[in-house]
A and B are shown apart, each in its own frame.
Chain A
Amino acid sequence: MTAPMITIEHVDKFYGKHHVLKDCSTQVAKGEVVVVCGPSGSGKSTLIKCVNGLEPFQRGKIMVDGVSVGDRKTNLPRLRARIGMVFQLFELYPHMSALDNVRLAPEKVLGLPHAAAEARAMALLTRVGLAEHARKYPSQLSGGQQQRVAIARALAMDPIAMLFDEPTSALDPEVINEVLDVMVGLAAEGMTMIVVTHEMGFARKVADRIVFMDGGTILEDRPTNAFFATPATERARQFLSKILTH
C-alpha cells in the first residue's frame, strides 16, 4: 500500500475544558472513501475540520500529503487550496451567482485569468448538472442544487481530497439523492474522500471503511462490510439499530 494521503495521529482537542476529541487516530489512503458516523455531538464534524485546519487541535499530528496541518510554519491557505470541503449548510456566497461562487477561488487563489476561471467553473457546473443555472443566485436554487454548486466550488480547486461535513442533513428527502449521486460519481473516479454522514445506504455502497465515533473517541475503524455485519462495540450496535430501523 502506498503512503496514506491523510494521517490523523493521537489528536486531542479541547473547547476550554470540554474535551471534544480524545486521542483520535486513523488514516485515509489515496482514492479511499471513509465515512465517519456516530451520534450528534460525537466530534465527527470537528475531526474533519481539523484536517484542513479550520479547527485547531491541541495535541497530536495530522498530515495531509506530507504536510503537517498543525505546524505553525505550514501555509494553511495553500494547504486548504488543495483540499475541497463541503458544508452542511452549503455556505454559498449569497451575493454571487453560482458561476461566480465556483470561479472565485480559481481566480483569486490560483491566479487563473478571468476567462479561464470562468470556463473551469462552467465545466464543473455542467458536471454537476447545473449548467443552465450558472447565472442564478443561491437564493434562486433549491437546497440540492445549492449543495451541488458547493461541490463544484470545492472541485474547482482540483483538490487531492474532499471533506464532506453532513452534506445532505439539511436537505429535503427528495433532493438528497441528486447530491449523493454526484458524490458516488466522485468516489467512482477515485477521489479521496472523508464523509461525515448519516446516510448509511451511501456508506454501504461507496465507503471502503467506516469510522464510528462517540463522545469524541473513535470507537470503530473497520472495513464497511465488517462494520455493518458485526459492529464490534455495543454503542455502534445501538446506533445502527436506531438509524437503520427507520
Chain B
Amino acid sequence: MSDFDFGVILRALPFLWQGMQLTLLITALAMAGGILLGTALAMARLWAPPPFPQLAAGYVNLLRSMPLILVVFWFYFLVPLMVGRPVGAFPSALIAFTMFEGAYYCEIIRAGIQGVARGQLAAAQATGLTYLAAMRYVVLPQAFRAMVPVLLTQSIILFQDTSLVYVVGLHDFLTAATVVAGRDGRVVELYAFVAVVYLVLCVAASLGVRRLQLRFGK
C-alpha cells in the first residue's frame, strides 16, 4: 500500500466527475419517470376497472422477476429491432431503468395506500367526507408518510444499479473509473475511490431517510 497514489485520482477527477454526472442524471430521470409510472400502475391496480388491474399486475410481476441487466439488454438490443432504427445507449438505458423501477415503485405506493387501516376510510366517510375527500385528507397523507422513506431507499438502490449501464457502453462513474484504472494501471486506487464515493453518498442518503422517518414517526 506504500505506493498508493492519490495523485492519480486527483488528475482523473474531471473525467470521473463527468461519469458521476451521467450516473446522477440517469438516477434522477429514472426516479422521476419511475415514480410517475409507478403511481399510474398503482392507481390501475387499486382503482381501475378490469382488465387494467390484471394488466398492471402482470406488468409488475413480469418486470420484478427479471434481472435488471436483462431488461437493460432487452431495450438496447431488441427495441431497435422493433422500431427499425437504433435508439441509442442513453435513451434505451433510461427507458429500461424507468420501466424496471416503475414496477418496484408501484408496489411501494400500493402497499403504502393499502397499509392505511381500513377503518380510517370508514371513519372519514362516516363524518360525511366523500370517497375522494377521505382519500385526500385522511388516507393519502398517511400513505405518503409511510411510502416516502421506502421510495427513497429504493432510489438509493437505483443509484447503485445505474452502474450496470457499462454493459451498453455508457460512461457512468464506475465505467469512467474503470477507464482510468486501465489507462494508468492504477486499479487499486480507482476502485477504492469508487467504493468510498458510493459508500459516502449512500450512507448520507440513508441517514437522510432515517431522519425523515423519525420526523414522520411521531
- Chain A contacts to B: CB under 8 angstroms: 49, 52, 54, 76-78, 80-85, 87, 89, 91-95, 104-105, 108-109, 137, 139, 150, 153-154, 156-157
Contact = CB atoms under 8 A, between A and B. Distances in A.
Interface stretch (B77-85, B129-137, B166-174): B129-137
B122 A54 contact: yes
Given A81-B127, A81-B128, A105-B127, A95 B142 contact: yes
Nearest to A82: B128
A24 B115 CA distance: 34
Given A95-B141, A104-B137, A80 B123 contact: no
B214 interface: no
Given A54-B122, A139-B218, A91 B127 contact: no
B133 A91 contact: no
A105 B129 contact: yes
Contacts of A93: 120, 123-124, 138, 142
A105 B218 CA distance: 23
A87 B122 CA distance: 10
Contact of A78 (B117, B123, B128, B218): B128
Nearest to A102: B127
Contacts of A78: 128
29 contacts: A49-B122, A52-B126, A54-B122, A54-B125, A77-B128, A80-B126, A81-B128, A82-B128, A83-B126, A84-B126, A85-B126, A87-B123, A91-B117, A91-B119, A91-B120, A91-B122, A91-B123, A92-B123, A93-B124, A93-B142, A94-B142, A95-B141, A95-B145, A104-B137, A109-B128, A109-B133, A139-B218, A153-B127, A154-B127
B130 to A, nearest CB: 5
Contacts of A85: 123, 126-127
Contacts of A80: 125-128
Interface string B205-218: 00000000000001
B141 A157 contact: no
A72 to B, nearest CB: 16
Interface in B90-140: 117, 119-120, 122-130, 133, 137-138
B218 A108 contact: no
Highest count of chain B CB atoms <10 Å: which of A83, A92, A95: A95
B129 A109 contact: yes
B129 A108 contact: yes
Given A80-B127, A95-B142, A108-B133, A89 B119 contact: yes
